[in-house]
Chains A and B, each alone.
Chain A
């Protein structure tokens, strides 16, 4: 049974989705995003073109883009069944919950720490 379904999985042709051309394209996107982060950190912020409190959200958005490309293409999640993608992505909501709770909490701690 397991070998059978496994063959079906292979014959479905979904592996053709990661061709060499696409691999190179995703690699270039990841490198380009990293290069942009370095330009911001080494040039735009020190020269005062971009204030640090604007740069930080930009870093986080760029990081999420990189995470999307790694998970969707390198880890192949974009080409898996929707059910699997949801089973992996929906629990991440708990992490967002913890971020919201602890960020809020830390704003209270800063008053305590003085």
Chain B
């Protein structure tokens, strides 16, 4: 019997000819990617709403006047220093996360645990800083639906604008700031919880038995996304 196959019967092996994932990525990982895409849309909607409200306002609170304290150290005169520390903490936590993923590829359990614990610690540090930042702004009078008293608002603005316009935009600023950083902080919080669960699983040897530390990559994607969102929040709330 001849074993030659006619051209038409030959099984195609191109990525899109079926029978396997054209993306060559494990199911859970691809679903994490699509979840993150949907989450990117949510954050974009929030940030774009913030942008359009800010563009349509004649005055807006000046970032270097609103954010100029280092809680516990300085009450004023240090613009952007505290948020700089927060940004640095989050970048470092992203680096420790990639190092955990890298250790996972070598099946080095102890290293994975070490880097995951570091990531969790930095995650908690970021949340602590955010809590201090929120407490400070709340103390100054900003909150959902409330701003500092009218005669105190001046110190948060550069110049120009009527008192009514200042009051309105200070309120918009407060609502958007607490909503967007709150939603981001909630993501950091859930990220830390997920990281803790995964670290416990690593310690229990779940992934060692499974033969791969792919789960670390999946939670890593989520954690990097949280860092990615912070990069944008930082630029649009603190720099621009």
Contact = CB atoms under 8 A, between A and B. Distances in A.
Interface string A4-19: 0110111010011011
Highest count of chain A CB atoms <10 Å: which of B49, B55, B221: B55
Given A6-B26, A6-B214, A110 B58 contact: yes
B88 A31 contact: yes
Given A63-B235, A98-B44, A87 B55 contact: no
B212 interface: yes
Interface in A21-39: 23, 27, 30-31, 34, 37-38
B80 interface: yes
A83 B45 contact: no
B48 A102 contact: yes
A12 B24 contact: yes
Contact of B217 (A34, A63, A76, A84): A76
Interface in B182-233: 212, 214, 217, 220-221, 224-225, 227-228, 231-232
A70 B235 contact: no
B91 interface: yes
Interface stretch (B95-103, B124-132, B137-145, B146-154): B95-103
A2 B27 contact: yes
A50 interface: no
Contacts of A91: 37, 41
- Contact count band on B: 35 or more
Contacts, number: 153
Nearest to A20: B102
B23 A38 contact: no
B73 interface: no
Interface string B146-181: 000000000000000000000000000000000000
A38 B82 CA distance: 12
Nearest to B87: A34
Nearest to B33: A88
A25 to B, nearest CB: 11
Contact of B101 (A18, A30, A38, A41): A18
Interface in B28-82: 30, 33-34, 36-37, 40-41, 44-45, 48-49, 51-58, 64, 79-80
B99 A23 contact: yes
Given A5-B24, A75-B221, A105 B52 contact: yes
B1 interface: no
Contacts of A49: none
A110 B99 contact: no
A95 B41 contact: yes
A75 to B, nearest CB: 5
A102 B48 CA distance: 7
Contacts of A73: 98
Contact of B224 (A74, A83, A87, A107): A74
Given A16-B105, A80-B24, 14 more contacts: A5-B24, A6-B26, A12-B24, A46-B64, A60-B240, A63-B235, A67-B231, A74-B220, A83-B22, A92-B40, A94-B41, A109-B55, A113-B58, A114-B58
Closest 5 CB pairs of A and B: A109-B56, A106-B55, A106-B52, A106-B56, A102-B52
